[in-house]
């Protein structure tokens, strides 16, 4: 049997396995459908390894274009994919970070030990002002994670005041003395991170009480309502979601988070980012697709308490997590990025798109040089990973109307295990341009997709494809363009149907115009 996906009101209907590589897709008009929030395409930058330091924030002597010490080739690459938001300073680091250590003259800022990630000494040269300048350069919304684990209610309250109050107050006075007269008007605010683990090892009930307390004193200043995100569950901890939804008033939170990482093997030996066989490739994709079940079941619990879907499910940490590259610091989480990882990213984004009624924020972990990075740097060199190209392809869905899809896919199987070979999502933008994103996970077979598009006129189709010769292919500093997007010519209009031939192990995004 093929795997059944049921993401209401979108149905992934899968029937019986077929030996033929044929799929059928139906795309429907839905005037009342949700908007695919651009914030689903958010990113995450923690004080971890070489993400901030040597990623965004570089040595003054490095011979690259910089604004202050912000690396501008990284900024320009992220602007091209329309990065909508950036989450900072963590992650686990957020709950040992005290924001007042990162403001004022840099030479006077106290140093600290990053106990979570490598035990390195932080000089705090990258703090609140530097992060918000980075967001300004990127043109994106800042998403700040507040310290609940080792911080205080007063500390968080004063950080919000420092960021957002436009009148006379102790915090706004200090902000002005530090060179920023106007407030930044930061909306997204995480109240703690992974409070079930590195953020305090709390029970769900205890955290819910703490959230209510911290959120009460994180004030909405004029013109800047806070979009507060409560710390939600890890993986399939549905009891955590149940407790938070039951105990936290809906009007106190904008969103509830979910964290899930695709780990190819297990947490002790996660597997290599570059050296893996087809069985491990298959298992990785199988685990990636578990996101569908997680989102569906957590959403169902939220629906019970919030039938109007006022509270967003914020998947603010997701991605593939492998062993670090040989010879690198194990606490720095530096891993390469293959075509397999691009397929993981595209499949996950399709899931989020199809659940756009509830999933309205997500953050890939992490942006530069850590985990499933979009960008890798090596001194003056910079490269774009296969995952970067997925976000470049999928940016067309940002703030477009989701179109419901029904997909009947053949299986991709190894032994007795099977997954749907094809996954998809679709949207229509404000110019009535339709975009369809298709992923073929089968590394051996091309799959022909016959698509019926109901009540949506179109005349022309064009597209781009991301694929390569092997699912282990990567971009390196010596060969940075091995895996990249190219024009796709495998789609055509045939009567009232769209016919697409998906290459093996590929991501295709089509544009249909009338």
Residues belonging to the active site: 194, 317
CA end-to-end distance (rounded Å), the chain = 38
- What sign does the dihedral 103-106-108-109 (CA atoms) show? positive
- Give the count of alpha carbons within 13 A of 174, CB side only: 16
Alpha-carbon distance 230 to 253, whole Å? 7
Stated length of the chain? 514
Alpha-carbon distance 94 to 194, whole Å? 10
What interhelical angle do 153-164 and 204-217 show, nearest 10?
A: 40
- Give the count of alpha carbons within 13 A of 330, CB side only: 4
- What sign does the dihedral 313-454-493-23 (CA atoms) show? positive
Phi-psi region of 309 (alpha: psi -120 to 50; beta: other; left: phi over 0): left
- Residue pair 128/102 in contact (Cβ under 8 Å)? The answer is yes
Burial bucket for residue 40 (CB in 10 Å: 0-12, 13-18, 19+): buried
């Amino acid at each position: 049997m093929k795997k059944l996906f049921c993401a209401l009101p979108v149905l992934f209907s899968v029937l019986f396995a077929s030996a033929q590589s044929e799929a059928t897709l139906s795309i429907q008009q839905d005037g009342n459908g949700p908007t695919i929030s651009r914030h689903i395409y958010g990113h995450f930058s923690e004080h971890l390894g070489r993400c901030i330091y040597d990623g965004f924030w570089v040595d003054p002597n490095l011979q690259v274009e910089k604004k202050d010490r912000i690396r501008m080739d990284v900024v320009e690459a992220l602007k091209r994919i329309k990065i909508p938001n950036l989450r900072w300073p963590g992650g686990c680091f957020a709950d040992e970070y005290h924001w007042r250590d990162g403001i004022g003259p840099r030479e006077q800022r106290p140093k600290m030990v990053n106990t979570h990630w490598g035990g390195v000494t932080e000089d705090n040269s990258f703090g609140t002002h530097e992060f918000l300048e980075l967001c300004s350069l990127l043109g994106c919304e800042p998403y700040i994670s507040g310290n609940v684990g080792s911080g205080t209610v007063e500390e968080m309250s004063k950080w919000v005041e420092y960021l957002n109050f436009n009148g006379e107050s102790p915090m706004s006075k200090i902000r002005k003395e530090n060179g920023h007269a106007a407030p930044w008007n930061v909306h997204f605010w995480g109240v703690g991170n992974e409070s079930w683990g590195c953020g305090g090892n709390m029970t769900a009930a205890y955290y819910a009480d703490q959230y209510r307390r911290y959120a009460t004193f994180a004030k909405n200043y004029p013109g800047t309502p806070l979009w507060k995100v409560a710390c939600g569950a890890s993986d399939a901890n549905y009891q955590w979601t149940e407790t938070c939804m039951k105990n936290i008033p809906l009007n106190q939170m904008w969103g509830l988070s979910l964290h899930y990482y695709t780990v190819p093997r297990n947490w002790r030996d996660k597997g290599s980012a570059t050296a893996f066989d087809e069985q491990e490739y298959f298992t990785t994709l199988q685990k990636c697709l578990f996101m569908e079940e997680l989102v569906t079941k957590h959403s169902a619990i939220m629906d019970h308490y919030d039938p109007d879907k006022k509270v967003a499910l914020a998947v603010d940490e997701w991605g593939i997590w492998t062993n670090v590259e040989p010879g690198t610091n194990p606490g720095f989480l530096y891993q390469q990025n293959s075509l397999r990882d691009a397929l993981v990213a595209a499949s996950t984004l399709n899931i989020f798109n199809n659940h756009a009624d509830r999933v309205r924020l997500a953050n890939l972990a992490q942006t530069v040089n850590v985990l499933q990075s979009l960008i890798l740097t090596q001194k003056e060199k910079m490269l774009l990973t296969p995952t970067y190209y997925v976000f470049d392809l999928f940016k067309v869905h940002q703030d477009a109307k989701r179109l419901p899809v029904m997909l009947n896919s053949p299986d991709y199987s190894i032994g007795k295990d099977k997954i749907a070979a094809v996954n998809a999502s679709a949207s229509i933008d404000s110019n009535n341009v339709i975009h369809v994103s298709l992923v073929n996970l089968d590394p051996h077979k091309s799959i022909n997709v016959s698509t019926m598009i109901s009540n949506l006129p179109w005349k022309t189709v064009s597209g781009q494809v991301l694929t390569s010769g092997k699912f282990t292919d990567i971009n390196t500093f010596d060969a940075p363009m091995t895996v990249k997007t190219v024009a796709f010519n495998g789609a055509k209009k045939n009567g009232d149907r769209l016919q697409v031939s998906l290459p093996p192990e590929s991501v295709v995004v089509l544009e249909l115009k009338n």
